[in-house]
Structure 1
Amino acid sequence: MRFCAWLLKTAGWRIDITVPDFNKVIICVAPHTSNWDFIFGKLAYCAIGRKAGFMMKSSWFFFPLGLIFKAIGGVPVHRSGKGPSLVEQMVKRFKSSANLALAITPEGTRSRTNNWHTGFLRIAYEAKVPIVLGAIDYRIKLVSINTIFEPTGNIETDMAAVKTFYKGFTGRHPEQFDASISN
Structure 2
Amino acid sequence: MSIPVPGARVPRRGGPISRAVGRVGLRLMGWRIEGEYPDLPRFVTIGAPHSSNYDFIIAMAAVLALDVRIRILGKHTLFKGPLGPIMRWCDVLPVDRRSPNGVVGDCVAAIRDNAQTVIGIAPEGTRNPAPDAGWKTGFWHIARQAGVPIIPVALDYASRTIRIGAPWWPSDDMAADFALLSAFYAGVQGAKRRLPDAIVPRQPGNAGPSGTAG
Q: What is the TM-score normalised by the length of structure 2?
A: 0.78
Deviation at 1:53, TM superposition (A): 1.1
* Pick aligned residue for 1:161 from 158, 175, 180: 180
Deviation at 1:155, TM superposition (A): 1.8
Aligned to 1:23: 41
Aligned to 1:174: 193
Aligned to 1:83: 100
Aligned to 1:37: 55
**Helix, strand or coil at the partner of 2:108:** helix
Deviation at 1:86, TM superposition (A): 1.1
Once residues 157 and 122 of structure 2 are traced to their aligned partners in structure 1, the CA distance between those partners, rounded to angstroms, is 16
**Helix, strand or coil at the partner of 2:167:** strand
Aligned to 2:109: 92
Once residues 32 and 132 of structure 1 are traced to their aligned partners in structure 2, the CA distance between those partners, rounded to angstroms, is 16
Task: Identify which range, 33-42 or 98-107, moves more after superposition.
Answer: 33-42
The structure whose residues are more often strand, as a share, is 1
Conserved 8 A contact 1:112-1:178: no
Instruction: Write the letter of the residue equivalent to 2:20.
Output: R
Are residues 1:71 and 2:103 paired? Answer: no
Once residues 139 and 80 of structure 2 are traced to their aligned partners in structure 1, the CA distance between those partners, rounded to angstroms, is 26
**Helix, strand or coil at the partner of 2:139:** helix
Structure 1: runs of 5+ lacking an equivalent: none
**Helix, strand or coil at the partner of 1:75:** strand
Once residues 55 and 172 of structure 2 are traced to their aligned partners in structure 1, the CA distance between those partners, rounded to angstroms, is 28
CA RMSD of aligned residues (A): 1.7
Instruction: State the identity as a percent.
Output: 31
Aligned to 1:149: 168
Conserved 8 A contact 1:134-1:147: no
Deviation per residue, 1:125-180 (Å, 9 max, x gap): 110111111011111111121321221132222123213321131100016x4453
Once residues 165 and 199 of structure 2 are traced to their aligned partners in structure 1, the CA distance between those partners, rounded to angstroms, is 22
Instruction: Write the letter of the residue equivalent to 1:156.
Output: A
Q: What is the TM-score normalised by the length of structure 1?
A: 0.91
Deviation at 1:98, TM superposition (A): 1.1
Instruction: Write the letter of the residue equivalent to 2:65.
Output: A
Conserved 8 A contact 1:125-1:152: yes
Are residues 1:111 and 2:128 paired? Answer: yes
Change in Cα spacing, 1:98 to 1:117, as seen in structure 2 (3 Å) is same
* Pick aligned residue for 1:54 from 72, 75, 85: 72
**Helix, strand or coil at the partner of 1:133:** strand
* Pick aligned residue for 1:128 from 126, 147, 166: 147
Aligned residues: 181
Structure 2: runs of 5+ lacking an equivalent: 1-18, 204-214
Change in Cα spacing, 1:25 to 1:103, as seen in structure 2 (3 Å) is same
Deviation at 1:88, TM superposition (A): 0.9
Change in Cα spacing, 1:181 to 1:12, as seen in structure 2 (3 Å) is closer
Once residues 110 and 123 of structure 1 are traced to their aligned partners in structure 2, the CA distance between those partners, rounded to angstroms, is 22
Once residues 18 and 94 of structure 1 are traced to their aligned partners in structure 2, the CA distance between those partners, rounded to angstroms, is 21
